[in-house]
């Protein structure tokens, strides 16, 4: 189980499990109520056979996001430098 805390106080859990004889990856949102961690209906189950393809796509998304951040930061620096002149 890999719990990832979100900004809203909820958690994302990434877990490998068997469902109806099929190995799956489950990504589900959890909330904490009365000191208990409770799953919500928000989630996704994907057969493990798609794991490599999903990871590849997530990597591409991450790369694009990093490029956007780099571009955004360089524009901000240029804007700040220009504003100071």
Looking at residue 80, what is its pLDDT? 46
Looking at residue 49, what is its pLDDT? 95
Overall pTM surpassing 0.75 (yes/no): no
At residue 11 the predicted structure's pLDDT band, cuts being 50, 70 and 90, is very high
CA 32 vs CA 10, 15, 16, 27: distances in Å: 7, 18, 21, 17
pLDDT tens-place string over residues 25-76: 999 999 988 989 899 999 999 999 999 999 999 999 999 988 888 877 666 5
Name the residue with tokens 């796509």.
57
Q: Work out the angle at residue 15's Cα, subtended by the Cα atoms of residues 12 and 16, and round it to the nearest 5 degrees.
A: 160
Q: Which CATH class is domain 2-84?
A: mainly beta
Q: Which residues, including other chains, have CB under 8 Å from residue 15's CB and lie 6 or more apart?
A: 1, 2, 25, 26, 28
In 3-state terms, what secondary structure has residue 10? Answer: coil
More confident residue, 83 or 75: 75
């Amino acid at each position: 189980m890999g719990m990832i805390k979100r900004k809203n106080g909820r958690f994302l859990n990434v877990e490998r499990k068997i469902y109806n004889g099929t190995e799956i990856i489950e990504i589900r949102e959890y909330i904490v109520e009365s000191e208990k961690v409770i799953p919500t209906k928000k989630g996704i189950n994907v057969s493990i056979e798609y794991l490599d393809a999903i990871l590849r796509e997530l990597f591409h998304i991450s790369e694009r996001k990093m490029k956007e951040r780099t571009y955004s930061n360089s524009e901000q620096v240029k804007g700040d430098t220009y504003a100071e002149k």
